[in-house]
Structure formats: C-alpha cells, structure tokens
C-alpha cells in the first residue's frame, strides 16, 4: 500500500486563489495523501472555502492558528498535525504537476535518499518561464552532475556531502520547499522551522538537511511557482522603481525597508552557519560574499534615505562596518557634505531585492 503523505499548505487571505493549489493536489497520480490547510488567522472567507473543499474530500483538513504565526509558524502547525509517513509542502498560490508525489516517492525508494527535491517553472501572469533552461542554470546543473552521484542517466542528482558549499557558491537556487518530500521521522532530528524568520524561513530550514542526509534532486519541473500580486516580493515592480525620486512612495519604501531587515537577519544566520561549519572548504571566500550581501542591503537603505541625512549616515556606517566598498565610501563622503543628488555610479550597487 502507498505510504500516507501529509501535505502542509499555509495560507493567509488566499480564498480567491487557493482552489488552484488544491485542485493540483486532487490531480495527483498518487492517491494516499492528506492535505492540512493551516489558516494563519485569515480575515477573508478562507475558513468557509476550505470547509467546502473538505466536505467534498475527506482527505482535506482545515486547521486555524490560535494567533498569527507567519508562514514558518503556519507550516509548523501543519507538521505537528501531520499523520503521514512523509511530509510535503505546497503554498496556497502555487501548483504541482500531477507526477510530483508519485515521482518523488519512487525516487526516494530507488535512490535510498532521505529527502527528494525537484525543479519548478515560474508563472508571471499569463507567462510561464522555465528558468532552468537558461545558460547559467544549465552550466550549474552540468557541473553538479559531474561532481556528485547521478541516477536515471543524470535526471536525478544525489548529494551526501558538499551540498551546503555548492549552495553557497551557486548564483542560482535549485532547492525549494514546495518540491520537498521527506520522512516525517526526520523532524525528531532537524526540528521545526524557525518562526522568527518571516523571510527566508524556508531556505534556512532546508539548510538544516544539507550535508546531513542523502538528498535527491530531480532535474525536471514538478511545480508551478506563481508570482501573485499579493506575494511577499511582488508588492511592486522593483525593476521599474526610480531610486532618485525625491519622494519615494512611503508605503513602498516601508515594505523595502522591512524586507531588507529580514533579509539581513537571514544572511547573518547563514553567516553563522558558515563560520561553524566543518564542511565548507573555502570559508573565508564564502564569508566575504555574505558580508558583501549584507553591506549592500544597508547601502541601499542609505541611498534611499539620503534626503534624511542622519538616517542615511546611520545605514551607510552599518554598510561600511560589514564590508568597505568603493560605493559605500563614496556615498558616505557625499552624505557628509550634505549632497542629496542621485548618482548613476552609486545606483549600480543598489540591491532593491
């Protein structure tokens, strides 16, 4: 008999879009699953929508948090309520291909891996893009196939050691919580998701598995990552923002500032992991790149606040403390002389993401 898979789906005010995610689960070729929809105190009609689905299929369960816990906390609630032998995750605005659970369980059995991942496609409105066909991604996948163990003529890459350093070194990410399937018993060893991370809580959780367990990466897409208008990252088109606008939209700036602080928190956590790791061979190099990333976040906040000289100088000093660069030193001098004008040169180092 097929082992039971518990699927955890955190949601908040997604009643208008969650049906697509649920339907993709109902379309799975694998039948023995339970879906735990964890409502993080939604204010829309999420409760009614999920209970309607549950009345049609007994495998669907509705759970509501007693307080708002964020995406990490909602997933923890679902994992603690799970009854299955395996755990899987799907966000309420994303979808799975019908093969996902079947292929993942088969891969785990075939390769004797403890965790299975797969690739995904991205959907922006009506446009779907398969980014792993791009030159950089194809090169990195080829590099991993030649460095690590492979199965199924290279369709599956197996990692036991060295994945954490590969993750740090790569300019692209190949691992996503929405494609992860693993034995629930591993929770006794890795624990739950850190609820203090509201951004990157999924990535920091995945890192706990790297270099500790046998991990399989299936190099074909299993999921659709949909960039919804209300997602954490897409509250505006940051590529179109003009950082030299005198009065940057206050609401947008506040969101960018909040995300920057949360991103810095995650990067500092990863920096600590690198410092403590015995498996990272080029530790100084990795720490250098992490410090550059943190410095760039503070630098961006400084540039955006240059009309508030005191605040801008504070952020610029934070950037310099992390890593001295030609950009933050130049900006610091400009701020000391009360220059609020924008600069094409300084804009090159901005990190609005």
Structure tokens at 97: 């291909």
d(CA 320, CA 40): 39
Helices (H), the chain: 18-26, 46-56, 70-81, 100-111, 135-147, 163-169, 187-190, 201-207, 250-276, 283-304, 309-322, 326-336, 344-347
What are the pLDDT digits (tens) for 28-48?
999 999 999 999 999 999 999
Domain enclosing residue 47, as ranges: 5-227
pLDDT at 240: 62
Looking at the structure, do residues 183 and 68 belong to the same domain, yes or no? yes
- Of 272, 184, 178, nearest in space to 225 by CA: 178
* Mean local confidence (pLDDT), 210-221: 97
Confidence of residue 248 (pLDDT cuts 50, 70, 90): low
Looking at the structure, do residues 115 and 15 belong to the same domain, yes or no? yes
| Torsion angles phi and psi, residue 126, rounded to 5 | -90, 0
Q: Is there a contact between 134 and 234 (Cβ–Cβ < 8 Å)? A: no
122, 219, 282 from 137: Cα distances, Å:
14, 11, 22
**pLDDT(238) > 70:** no
pLDDT at 234: 55
- Of 30, 132, 93, nearest in space to 224 by CA: 93
Specify if 236 maps to a domain.
Answer: no
Q: Is 211 exposed, middle or buried (0-12, 13-18, 19+ CB in 10 A)?
A: buried
pLDDT at 198: 77
* Mean local confidence (pLDDT), 226-247: 62
Looking at the structure, do residues 259 and 125 belong to the same domain, yes or no? no
Looking at the structure, do residues 210 and 100 belong to the same domain, yes or no? yes
- Of 298, 311, 297, nearest in space to 340 by CA: 311
pLDDT at 339: 79
If one compares 104 and 65, the residue with the highest pLDDT of the two is 104
Q: Is there a contact between 196 and 70 (Cβ–Cβ < 8 Å)? A: no
Is 1 strand, coil or helix?
coil
Structure tokens at 152: 């199924």
**Residue that finishes a domain, picked among 197, 227, 257:** 227
What are the pLDDT digits (tens) for 58-81?
999 999 988 888 889 999 999 999
> With pLDDT > 70 as the criterion, what percentage of the chain qualifies?
95
**Residue that finishes a domain, picked among 192, 227, 262:** 227
Looking at the structure, do residues 212 and 125 belong to the same domain, yes or no? yes
Structure tokens at 143: 């590099």
Looking at the structure, do residues 45 and 171 belong to the same domain, yes or no? yes
**Residue that finishes a domain, picked among 227, 257, 288:** 227
Looking at the structure, do residues 256 and 121 belong to the same domain, yes or no? no
The structural domain count of the chain equals: 2
What are the pLDDT digits (tens) for 155-171?
999 999 999 999 999 88
Specify if 186 maps to a domain.
Answer: yes
Looking at the structure, do residues 43 and 90 belong to the same domain, yes or no? yes
Confidence of residue 196 (pLDDT cuts 50, 70, 90): confident
If one compares 195 and 141, the residue with the highest pLDDT of the two is 141
What are the pLDDT digits (tens) for 286-301?
999 999 999 999 999 9
Structure tokens at 186: 């591993």
Looking at the structure, do residues 256 and 202 belong to the same domain, yes or no? no
**pLDDT(353) > 80:** no
What are the pLDDT digits (tens) for 200-209?
899 999 999 9
Sign of CA dihedral 69, 84, 202, 221: negative
Confidence of residue 236 (pLDDT cuts 50, 70, 90): low
- Of 244, 260, 258, 268, nearest in space to 321 by CA: 268
């Amino acid at each position: 008999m097929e082992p039971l898979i518990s699927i955890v789906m955190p949601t908040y005010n997604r009643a208008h879009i969650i049906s697509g995610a649920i339907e993709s689960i109902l379309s799975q070729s694998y039948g023995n699953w339970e879906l735990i929809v964890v409502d993080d105190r939604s204010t829309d009609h999420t409760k009614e929508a999920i209970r309607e689905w549950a009345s049609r299929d007994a495998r669907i369960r509705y759970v509501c948090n007693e307080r708002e816990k964020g995406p990490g906390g909602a997933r923890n609630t679902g994992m603690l309520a799970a009854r299955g032998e395996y755990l899987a995750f799907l966000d309420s605005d994303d979808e799975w291909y019908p093969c996902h659970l079947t292929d993942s369980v088969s891969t785990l059995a075939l390769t004797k891996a403890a965790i299975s991942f797969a690739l995904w496609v991205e959907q922006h409105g009506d446009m779907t893009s398969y980014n792993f066909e791009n030159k950089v991604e194809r090169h990195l996948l080829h590099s991993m196939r030649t460095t690590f163990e492979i199965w199924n003529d290279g369709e599956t890459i197996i990692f036991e050691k060295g994945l954490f350093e590969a993750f740090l070194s790569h300019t692209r990410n190949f691992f996503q919580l929405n494609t992860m399937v693993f034995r629930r018993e591993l929770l006794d060893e890795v624990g739950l998701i850190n609820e203090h991370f509201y951004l990157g809580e999924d990535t920091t959780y995945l890192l706990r598995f790297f270099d500790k367990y046998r991990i399989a990466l299936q190099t074909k897409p299993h999921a659709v990552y949909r960039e919804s208008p209300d997602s954490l990252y897409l509250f505006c088109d940051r590529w179109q923002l003009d950082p030299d606008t005198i009065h940057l939209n206050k609401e947008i700036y506040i969101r960018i500032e909040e995300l920057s602080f949360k991103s810095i928190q995650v990067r500092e956590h990863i920096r600590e992991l690198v410092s403590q790791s015995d498996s990272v061979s080029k530790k100084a190099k990795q720490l250098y790149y992490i410090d550059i990333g943190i410095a760039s976040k503070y630098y961006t906040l400084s540039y955006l606040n240059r009309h508030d000289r005191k605040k801008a100088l504070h952020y610029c000093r934070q950037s310099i403390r992390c890593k001295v660069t030609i950009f933050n030193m130049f900006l610091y001098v400009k701020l000391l002389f009360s220059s609020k004008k924008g600069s094409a040169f300084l804009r090159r180092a901005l990190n609005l993401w």
